[in-house]
Amino acid sequence: MSATPKTALTIAGSDSGGGAGIQADLRTFFACGVHGMTAITAVTVQNSLGVQGFSEVPVDVVTAQIRAVAGDMGVDAAKTGMLATAEIIHAVAETLDEVHIGRHHETPFVVDPVAASMHGDPLLREEALEAIRTELLPRATLVTPNLDEVRLLTGVAVTDTGSQREAADALLEFGSQWVLVKGGHMYDNPECVDLLSDGVQYVELKGPRHDVEHTHGGGDTLASAITASLAKDLGVPDAVSAGKRFIERSVAEAYPLGQGIGPVSPFWRLDHGA
């Protein structure tokens, strides 16, 4: 019998194309050596060309999935991705309290505030933004928005590393312990600079900007790699550094698949020799 690995729970939507959402989270958890568990919030009809539609999972089924795994198997760290509606966000927030997950409990909780796919297709109903601000961010150990999500949540338009700091401060007002303002979309910067802050420390995580068009699932993969490290008891700054190294290599090794945007790849972490 082998040693039981640490466990991570993702509360997110399914991507039929396998590159983002639940599927990205599970393959990242696997590559990082943690046991992945899921509470599926929505089923998207999606491929490399975009999201053609989605159907939400009934709220009581979403919360029952969280309770089922937390009560039996235990959760060492959790994350959220696509949550679709204010009703789901409200129920998830209440259930996380019930099972002691979040910044005011022992189990770390990462919020990836997914609002749209990289093609611009909406994955969150508009009225749900306020629920993310008021119900999820106060419970978050870390929130990991991209620049579009930062603008939607705070109104701050990030154009450079100076405004990235302003955005981090504005986001912290909503109550998360740490924020990571991702800079992947600052396309005129030759480096990809993500800013991590808890309001005291401001840490710039820098890496080369790889010249690849296949970055589907990049945000989900980063948040999952961070969650996996938190499950393994790393502190937030170390977990985010490990996540940044993980996504950098996964972007570098992204592959074309389908006629549109292919997925980032965590395969490099696995041994293909067998």
Ligand X SMILES: Cc1ncc(CO)c(N)n1
Using CB under 6 A, list all residues that contact ligand ATP: 118, 146, 182-185, 192, 194, 207, 209-210, 212, 215, 217-220, 222, 244, 247-248, 251
The whole-angstrom separation of Cα 28 and Cα 36 is 9
Q: Which of residues 102 and 183 has its CB atom nearest to ligand ATP in the complex?
A: 183
- For the bound state, the minimum distance from the C-beta of residue 183 to ligand X, rounded and expressed in Å, comes to 17
Q: Which of residues 20 and 195 has its CB atom nearest to ligand X in the complex?
A: 20
- For the bound state, the minimum distance from the C-beta of residue 274 to ligand X, rounded and expressed in Å, comes to 30
The whole-angstrom separation of Cα 107 and Cα 186 is 32
Count Cα neighbours of 16 within 13 Å in the Cβ-side half-sphere: 13
Q: Which of residues 99 and 261 has its CB atom nearest to ligand ATP in the complex?
A: 261
41 binds, among ligand ATP, ligand X, none (CB under 5 to 8 A by kind): none
Q: Which of residues 144 and 164 has its CB atom nearest to ligand X in the complex?
A: 144
The whole-angstrom separation of Cα 72 and Cα 266 is 29
82 binds, among ligand ATP, ligand X, none (CB under 5 to 8 A by kind): ligand X
- For the bound state, the minimum distance from the C-beta of residue 43 to ligand X, rounded and expressed in Å, comes to 9
The 10 Å Cβ neighbour count of residue 187 is 9
- For the bound state, the minimum distance from the C-beta of residue 117 to ligand X, rounded and expressed in Å, comes to 4
Find the residue with minimal CB distance to ligand X. 21
Q: Which of residues 151 and 165 has its CB atom nearest to ligand X in the complex?
A: 151
- For the bound state, the minimum distance from the C-beta of residue 215 to ligand ATP, rounded and expressed in Å, comes to 4
List, edge to edge, every strand of the sheet that includes 35-47: 50-56, 35-47, 7-15, 77-80, 109-111, 142-143, 178-181, 191-197, 202-208
Q: Smallest Cα–Cα separation from 29: which of 184, 193, 230?
A: 230
Q: Smallest Cα–Cα separation from 225: which of 205, 242, 202?
A: 242
Residue 200: which residues within 8 A CB-CB, separation 6 or more? none
21 binds, among ligand X, ligand ATP, none (CB under 5 to 8 A by kind): ligand X
Residues engaged in binding ligand X (CB under 6 A): 12-15, 20-21, 44, 46, 81-82, 114, 117, 123, 217, 219-220
- For the bound state, the minimum distance from the C-beta of residue 205 to ligand ATP, rounded and expressed in Å, comes to 7
248 binds, among ligand X, ligand ATP, none (CB under 5 to 8 A by kind): ligand ATP
Nearest 10 degrees: CA dihedral of 76, 149, 190, 216?
70
- For the bound state, the minimum distance from the C-beta of residue 39 to ligand ATP, rounded and expressed in Å, comes to 20
158 binds, among ligand X, ligand ATP, none (CB under 5 to 8 A by kind): none
**Residue 25 phi, psi (nearest 5):** -65, -45
The whole-angstrom separation of Cα 36 and Cα 77 is 10
266 binds, among ligand ATP, ligand X, none (CB under 5 to 8 A by kind): none
26 three-state secondary structure: helix
